[in-house]
Structure 1
Amino acid sequence: MEKAETVEEFYKRINHNTSKLSLHNVGLGLGHFNIFPRAFCSPHTNYSRRDYYKVSYIIGTGKLYYANQWIHIDRPALMFSNPMVPYLWEAESPEQSGWFCLFTEDFIQHDERILSLQDSPLFKAGARPVYFLNEDQQEEISSIFRKMQQELHSDYVHKFNVLRNYLHLVIHEAMKWCATDRFEKPVNASVRITNLFLDLLERQFPIDAPDLVVQLRSPKSFAHQLSVHVNHLNRSVREVTGKTTTGHISDRILKEAVALLRHSDWNISEIAYSLGFEYPAHFTSFYKKKTGQSPAALRKSIV
């Protein structure tokens, strides 16, 4: 698994003229924004994080792999890419069209009224990244992306304010189309503390380098971080999810282990240490107990 790709590395990867970067850079500390037709996309991308956000209007079929899951995209869809989550795209149809815009949090945060995108329903860790569109929604999103592209190349002095508004419009349209209960606020303290726990758990991943180590691995450490008693945390998580706090932690560590074994070239000892195991043998024992096979066996099966 590679380290997060920067905006500059993205431009080099697509062989875009980096001398034009300044033309599409808001500058003056206001972040970065750009929009492209999806013809710039590679049919296959590496499984990695990006150090920027993307909103893509996908016309064409393919598979999107993210975290340890995948979605088959077989009709027009809107995709929200979170820098916290690694993903890989495998195109199936030869024709891939639509648009995508990439931007930094600094760009969207220039409006001080806007909260962090990491806390928004569409971009927060664990959120579903893909939303399929009906014909009316396709027409609406196509219109907004065309206006973005036209505005980006205009000479209007405040064009980046306009672009920021178009981007917010895309985000809010998607939020309206989603089921309303997806965005309801927690109704009681148990739901609130459980959501905080799950979000804190997810924010530890993905692990980008072997020298990075998972810090929170026990219910007690999470309770300390959340300033609650561990018994209160355990009761809340079990009440809301029907699953123990320890179960959530071990399942998420297993999920990351599978991703690293499949998509990184780190050796098993490096994976073990990065996941917080003191000895590789402890990791092997944990993995075999969870899956019925050793980490080495999984590695051999995908070679």
Structure 2
Amino acid sequence: MKVFKDFASYNTFMGMSEPLDEDIDVGYYDPPNIILGSDPVMVDFYRISIKIKFKRKATPFAESITAVFFNSPDLVIAPGWDAEPTYTGMYLQLSKKVIDQNRFLFKTYLDYGQHEALYLTEEEVDEISAVFGLLFKYYGSEKKQFGVLLSYVNVLISLVEAFYKRQFSTDPKQYNRIVTDFQQSLVEYYNQPTKQLPNVQYFADALGLTANYLGDIIKHYTQRSALENIHDFIIIKAKELLEQNAEMNTTEVAYELGFEYPNYFSKFFKKQVGLSPKEYRLQRINKE
């Protein structure tokens, strides 16, 4: 499988324009002049690809789609651009260096390519196209202003964030299943002996998702982060153990929940509940 380490080699392979910079590359697709099919490949950089009225040759009777696609390092690009040479669009390519140095600008969407594209409405296409036009203008200018380019990239990513929230809301049945599976996985985690606290990555791996993608869906539908949901559930289990197992001391409860250090459990519990585990147990006994 071919692995492309830089924009120049990938663009040459694809038949796209030669990049003007090693860290950021901006361009428009010209389907009649680029390859429309290939064996799987990988790129060692990040790509945001906007394809308008895109249709695959394998499904000629299906409706065309307009969407944003994401590619990131180590993600195999399947032989998926077997497209009719009639679509239009644009692409933004970013080096790992740019992402690493400006991680705060890019949020979590660059690994969404493993799960789903962002499908755009006509109005959203107009907004993204307008921003992209400005991005391309400054990219092609003789005096490239890197700060300006990054600012427009940030605007583009902010639009993606807003549009993904819209997409999450348009098909709640699909995303509610992910929320339900996450919550069920939490229950199952504590239905077996455990020696450590659960984390977001554990449940993402169990569900076959990236941690960022899972976290964004959980936050959208519960208004709390995935980690906050985990903490909420741990508190529920802690309260159950403290109330229903009088023979267990605080240390035993901590170990039962997966805490390595009982003192950390006590601090965690007090921060979440406002009482220490011992105070909470006494309060419940007095109420009874």
Give the structure-2-normalised TM-score. Answer: 0.52
2:132 aligns with 145
More helix by share: 2
Compare 120-129 and 51-60 and name the one that shifted more. Answer: 120-129
Q: Does 1:164 align with 2:150?
A: yes
Q: For residue 121 of structure 1, report the CA deviation from its aligned partner.
A: 3.4
* 1:197 maps to amino acid: Y
Partner Cα separation in structure 2 for residue 174 and residue 162 of structure 1:
19
- Aligned to 1:151, the other structure's residue is in SS state helix
Q: Which residue number corresponds to residue 290 of structure 1?
A: none
Quote the offset at 1:108 in angstroms. Answer: 3.0
Alignment of 1:1-303 (within 5 A): 2-7=1-6, 8-14=8-14, 21=19, 23-25=20-22, 32-39=23-30, 41-63=34-56, 74-88=64-78, 89-111=80-102, 113-114=104-105, 120-124=107-111, 127-156=114-143, 159-179=145-165, 190=186, 193=198, 195-199=200-204
Distance (whole Å) between structure 2 residues aligned to residue 230 and residue 36 of structure 1? 55
Give the corresponding residue for 2:242: none
Which structure ranks higher in relative contact order (CA pairs < 8 Å, sequence separation ≥ 6)? 1
Tell whether the 8 Å contact from 2:45 to 2:93 is kept in structure 1 after alignment. yes
1:203-248 alpha-carbon deviations (Å, 9 max, x no partner): 99xxxxxxxxxxxxxxxxxxxxxxxx9996xxxxxxxxxxxxxxxx
Alpha-carbon contact 1:3-1:49 (below 8 Å) kept: yes
What does residue 257 of structure 1 align with?
none
CA gap of 1:46–1:177, structure 2 versus 1, over 3 A, is same
Give 1:45 deviation, angstroms: 3.0
Q: Contact 1:84–1:125 (CA<8 Å) still a contact in 2?
A: no
1:61 Cα offset (Å): 2.2
Q: Are 2:67 and 2:118, in contact at CA under 8 Å, matched by a contact in 1?
A: yes
Alpha-carbon deviations, 1:123-148, whole Å to 9, x = none? 23675341111111010111111111
Does structure 2 retain, via aligned residues, the 8 Å contact 1:85–1:125? no
- CA separation in 2, counterparts of 1:134 and 1:182? 14
Q: In 1, Cα distance between the equivalents of 2:10 and 2:39?
A: 12
1:96, distance to aligned residue in structure 2 (A): 2.5
Q: CA separation of 1:41/1:16 partners in 2, compared to 1, >3 Å: closer, same or farther?
A: closer
Residue 178 of structure 1 and its aligned partner are, at CA, apart by: 1.6
Cα distance in 2 for partners of 1:16, 1:107 equals: 21
User: Structure 1 counterpart of 2:118, which letter?
Assistant: Y
Give the CA RMSD over aligned residues.
4.1
Deviations 1:11-35 (A, max 9, x none): 3314568xx65x423xxxxxx1111
Q: CA 1:73–1:36 in structure 2 vs 1: closer, same or farther (change >3 Å)?
A: farther
Give how far 1:6 is off. 1.4
Show structure 2 runs of 5+ residues with no match.
170-178, 188-196, 211-254, 259-288
